[in-house]
Amino acid sequence: VPVSNIRNFCIIAHIDHGKSTLADKLLQLTGTVQMREMKEQFLDNMDLERERGITIKLQAARMRYVLDNVPYCLNLIDTPGHVDFSYEVSRSLAACEGALLVVDASQGVEAQTLANVYLALENNLEIIPVLNKIDLPGAEPDRVAREMEEIIGLDCSTAIQCSAKEGIGIAEILNSIVTRIPPPNDTSQSPLRALIFDSYYDPYRGVIVYFRVVDGSIRKGDKIYFMASGKDYFADEIGVLSPNQMQVDELYVGEVGYLSASIRSVADARVGDTITHFGRRAASSLPGYEEATPMVFCGLFPVDADQFPELRDALEKLQLNDAALKFEPETSSAMGFGFRCGFLGLLHMEIVQERLEREYNLTLITTAPSVVYRVNCANGDIIECSNPSLLPEPGKRRSIEEPFVKIEMLTPKEYIGSLMELGQERRGEFKEMNYITENRASLIYELPLAEMVGDFFDQLKSRTKGYASMEYSFVGYRESDLVKLDVQINGEPVEPLSTIVHKDKAYAVGRALTQKLKELIPRQMFKIPIQACVGSKVIASESLSAIRKDVLSKCYGGDISRKKKLLKKQAEGKKRMKAVGKVEVPQEAFMAVLRLE
Ligand code: GDP
Ligand code: MG
């Protein structure tokens, strides 16, 4: 089809508002995916995504659609639905001219809706408002449309009412994609520029790159050059996504497709990079490329020291597929050999941990996540510290800076008070409050990222009965009065339990942490002191009394199966223990600092 008949679009929505369901229906109605091959939610194809109901990796699909006897090519580019991946969201939006803005008509505008709309507006996208779930008895499309007009300032008189689930309004959506979203600019004569909006590692073919041709065209066999990574390759295979990969010889301006070029690691062809021809290079790369900067770090240690080489292999393999994952060896006297790993955020961290355990069969101890502190040393050096146990001694540092985030919370008005308390407890600085409708308010705070890592989101949800939503973005480093809190168990320092806390909170955290550890560490045959210290000063201490632990004595008679069960249970409990000196410390203890009352 000519470039004037191409439409590139994405779907933006708050989680659970129906993005995946709608995408499925668009694929069905255009005959792109037949009913019988339709697994539910075709676009979210990683197991983990399916289980968690989130979209992690972007995918794309090409659809054919005929309107008034004219064939159109519609490219749907899926976007991940979590703040950890907002850079990926912004690059996938940059590959489009328009966006369907899906809002659940029984819920209304949420924090992610807003964040995604801002990104779409920054990328100059034509936005088509869609009110989904009108089949629900509680749907109020008119009220929600007014809300969208008020909050976003978007004309919603032409908003489409639909039910992705029941298949209502789908054709109308396809028609408006054609009539309202502009075609790509025809820059077919310019040197090639293609925007990478996704890439993944295939063990047989190397990295598969998903891209949008922004200028010029690309042919199979072309020698190509990646402008950010500086690497060059031959495009062995190019093709379209329909939605399965289908080889073609050439892709023209405006088109969306994939290529493979025996690329060894996704870091060489990262999201946001620009592909051009090696021989006829574009003068400048497409805007918006950013290096991946991990915001959250933790230690990963194999429970069984023999698994260290396997852990390294597994991390290397995952990194081929994940340019944002960083790791380096870490040794600790308490934990032995392991790795310090960097992630974009908590969800990213959990995904990597889960994959290491599921796909690589590793049993790991994970230490509590830490942000990256910037330490101004007495000798004038500035160092980045992502491992609390390595923080320079007080005499060797002048000040510590920590990363701050701006968060926007949307909440029904009755919970404003409890969210303000939450903001206060987490060292937040109140910035703004606005009523976005009569009943709902937006609260803006700036607070340390360290205070958000952990249970902030759970707290937000539980304090508002699940009704509030939030979004955050990094705003920069600020100086704070921080100290290092160390933990000793049975007289031995346990470095992985060290944390960096605000000076005013040290006593409270120390007390809560020692109490929590006392609950979590199983009693042993001897008495165990548990202490929290700042410097050489003990600020809190507990003691775990001794016990004679004989599980089997609880069994009466010779009930073999029950005995087995008990033994099995005990063995499972052991699985995630790490011997620190003479004391067995369970996984939960290493995360205790995140769950203090
Ligand atoms: P996503 O997180 O935005 O991708 O949302 P999903 O497509 O996964 O949908 C979230 C939930 O809402 C699922 O349980 C869907 O079955 C349901 N859902 C999606 N669209 C509709 C709809 O039009 N009507 C109703 N009643 N439920 C829907
Ligand atoms: Mg989804």
Q: Is residue 555 pLDDT above 80, yes or no? A: no
**Ligand 1 contact via 50 beta carbon (within 6 Å):** no
**Ligand 1 contact via 53 beta carbon (within 6 Å):** yes
Closest ligand by atom to 40 CA: 1
Q: How confident is the model at residue 4 (pLDDT cuts 50, 70, 90)?
A: very high
User: Of the residues 165, 172, 347, which should be mutated to test ligand 1's pocket, given the most ligand atoms within 8 Å of the CB?
Assistant: 165
Instruction: For residue 163, report the distance from its CA to the centre of ligand 1, in Å.
Output: 9
Q: Say what the pLDDT of residue 323 is.
A: 83
Q: Please state, rounded to an integer, the average pLDDT across all residues of the chain.
A: 89
- Distance of alpha carbon 464 from its chain centroid, rounded? 23
Q: How confident is the model at residue 572 (pLDDT cuts 50, 70, 90)?
A: low
Closest ligand by atom to 58 CA: 2
Mean pLDDT of the region 565-593: 74
Q: Please tell me which of 130-139, 286-295, 488-497 the model is most confident about, judged by mean pLDDT.
A: 130-139
Mean pLDDT of the region 480-502: 94
Eight-class DSSP state of 286: P
Instruction: For residue 18, report the distance from its CA to the centre of ligand 2, in Å.
Output: 7
H, E, C per residue of 513-558: HHHHHHHHCCCCCCCEEEEEEECCEEEEEEEECCCCCCHHHHCCCC
Instruction: For residue 349, report the distance from its CA to the centre of ligand 2, in Å.
Output: 20
Segment 38-69, tens digit of pLDDT = 555 554 555 555 454 444 444 789 999 999 99
Mean pLDDT of the region 409-430: 96
User: Of the residues 10, 16, 41, which should be mutated to test ligand 1's pocket, given the most ligand atoms within 8 Å of the CB?
Assistant: 16
Task: Tokens for 495, please give them.
Answer: 């470095």
**Ligand 1 contact via 164 beta carbon (within 6 Å):** yes
For ligand 1, atom 10, the nearest C-alpha belongs to: 16
**Ligand 1 contact via 19 beta carbon (within 6 Å):** yes
Q: Say what the pLDDT of residue 400 is.
A: 97
Question: Does residue 118 or residue 211 have the better pLDDT?
Answer: 211
Burial class (CB in 10 A: 0-12, 13-18, 19+), 492: middle
Please give the radius of gyration of the chain, using alpha carbons only, rounded to the nearest integer. 27
Q: Is residue 80 pLDDT above 60, yes or no? A: yes
Segment 316-354, tens digit of pLDDT = 988 887 888 999 999 988 888 999 999 988 888 888 988
**Ligand 1 contact via 15 beta carbon (within 6 Å):** yes
Annotated binding-site residues for GTP read 13-20, 78-82, 132-135
Question: Does residue 36 or residue 326 have the better pLDDT?
Answer: 326
Instruction: For residue 15, report the distance from its CA to the centre of ligand 1, in Å.
Output: 9
CA atoms of 384 and 370, how far apart (whole Å): 12
Q: Say what the pLDDT of residue 46 is.
A: 52
Closest ligand by atom to 162 CA: 1
Question: Does residue 536 or residue 36 have the better pLDDT?
Answer: 536
Mean pLDDT of the region 463-485: 93
Q: Which single residue is written with the structure tokens 């659809």? A: 63
Question: Does residue 95 or residue 200 have the better pLDDT?
Answer: 95
Instruction: For residue 42, report the distance from its CA to the centre of ligand 1, in Å.
Output: 14
Question: Does residue 174 or residue 36 have the better pLDDT?
Answer: 174
Among the residue ranges 28-37, 212-221, 251-260, 369-378, the one predicted with the least confidence is 28-37
8 A C-beta contact, residue 469 and residue 410: yes
CA atoms of 403 and 477, how far apart (whole Å): 4
**Ligand 1 contact via 168 beta carbon (within 6 Å):** no
**Ligand 1 contact via 25 beta carbon (within 6 Å):** no
